[in-house]
Amino acid sequence: MSISIALPLNKNSTNGFETNDSIFSVVRQNLKMLILTIPGERVMIPDYGVGLKKYLFDSFGDHLSSQIDHKIREQVKKYMPAITIFDIIINRDNLDTSRLNISINYSVPGIQMKDLLRFTI
């Protein structure tokens, strides 16, 4: 059973497009989209999103890491309140300093879900 379209869009011969088949994959996708969306990009919700790309070329240090951590937690609390964030780890990519590695350890207590979301931008 398909719950939603998976992003980014990829064609699939069965359903036309790849889909999310579990609530776990929907929550994971929605959390990642919240973090990657730039405020002002989402129609009718101008303050939605963390906008990580705006931090890519800032001088990386504890202050920047703390700023990103705070913004992620603030947005999750507002737009995905069912999620509990345990830990956020942010560091520069060793091979390319214009990239950030993000790891978010979180859970959704209401559905007994625990996950670690990792991505690089």
Residue 65 maps to which CATH number?
A: 3.10.450.40
Query: What one-character-per-residue DSSP string does 61-112 give?
Result: SHHHHHHHHHHHHHHHHHH-TT-EEEEEEEEE-SS-TT-EEEEEEEEEGGGT
User: Token pair for residue 116?
Assistant: 């670690």
Angle between helices 23-36 and 62-79 (to 10 degrees): 130
Domain count along the chain: 1
Q: Whole domain around residue 93: which residue ranges?
A: 4-120
Average pLDDT of the residues in 72-76? 97
**Which tens digit of pLDDT belongs to each residue from 22-54?**
788 899 999 999 999 999 998 999 999 999 888
Residues in the chain: 121
pTM equals 0.84
